[in-house]
Amino acid sequence: MDKETKNLVELCVAWCGPLFVLGYLVFWGILGHNIPPPNVMGLTPEQLVADYYGKYQSSIAIGMAGCCVVALLYLPWSCLLAFMMRDESGGFNVFSFMELTGGALTAWVLAFCPAIWLSCAVFATTFDPSVIKLLHATGWFIYDVTFMITTVQLTGLGLYTILNKRQTIFPAWAGWCAIAIGIVFVPLVLIPFVDKGPFALPGSWNFYIVFGSWLFGFFSPYSYFMLKELTHRRREFVPVAAVASR
């Protein structure tokens, strides 16, 4: 593959990230009625089915099915990020592998848990409410309590950004933000034990701060600098193409 084609492919892959966020917001947040999500630890099985799955059954089913698809757009975006880290450092290293494996597993969790909630929606009126709550809670425990998967990704990326003085794509402050956000995730481990307050599932910390900091403190700046770098490389081919066509 020539350099111009390679750059075009990388630009397309870079846009998988923003498409993932937009699609996930629509399918998981809006159609899935997860802004905020129901407080699974504060609801009885009957309340969960009546007020959530029974009330929005079709919408949740469509939303979670969509999540199973769009969530995996996070995978090629994470692969590209690891590839750009390799390019800048001259080869794969422990930090790029942490980013790659953490990103791949995060993508899987983002798709696997909605598949569980899809099952809950489809069978909400068929299975016993206790079974629905068990599956629903299990999905959330996997989704949030396994936060270390993403923390590993953010830590590897952050350390690479800060310590690799040769790379010029990402500013050091973005690396510090990535590491800090990985630490912000720690209270997610409290979700199975708390049914009210900021550390409950829909609480101010464990929902709004955690998801907001991930989006605006990590994903948005790294997507911006990835697209900026690849667009800059794209411009370098324009004069070359013009000369070649003469």
Q: Across the chain, what does the average pLDDT equal? A: 94
Separation CA 132–CA 134 (nearest Å) = 5
**pLDDT higher than threshold 50 for residue 243:** no
The answer, yes or no, to whether residue 235 has pLDDT greater than 90, is no
Residue scoring higher pLDDT (165 or 222): 222
Task: Find, among 164, 157, 147, the residue nearest to 221 by Cα.
Answer: 157
Q: What φ, ψ does residue 64 adopt, rounded to 5°?
A: -70, -35
Mean pLDDT of 98-105: 97
Tell me the pLDDT tens digit for each residue of 22-35: 999 999 999 999 99
- The answer on pLDDT for 2 being more than 90 is no
- Give the pLDDT band of residue 75 (cuts 50, 70, 90): very high
- Do residues 95 and 82 make contact, with C-beta atoms less than 8 angstroms apart? no
Q: Mean pLDDT over residues 70-86, rounded? A: 95
Q: How confident is the model at residue 242 (pLDDT cuts 50, 70, 90)?
A: very low
List, for residues 118-164, the tens digit of each pLDDT value.
999 999 999 999 999 999 999 999 999 999 999 999 999 999 999 99
Q: What is the pLDDT of residue 141?
A: 98
What residue segments make up the domains of the chain, in order of their start? 3-238
Averaged pLDDT for residues 183-202? 97
Q: What is the DSSP letter of 189?
A: G
The mean per-residue pLDDT over the stretch 11-29 comes to: 97
Amino acid 90: pLDDT: 66
**Is the pLDDT confidence value at 237 over 80?**
no
For residue 1, pLDDT over 80 is answered with no
pLDDT in tens, 203-229: 999 999 999 999 999 999 999 999 999
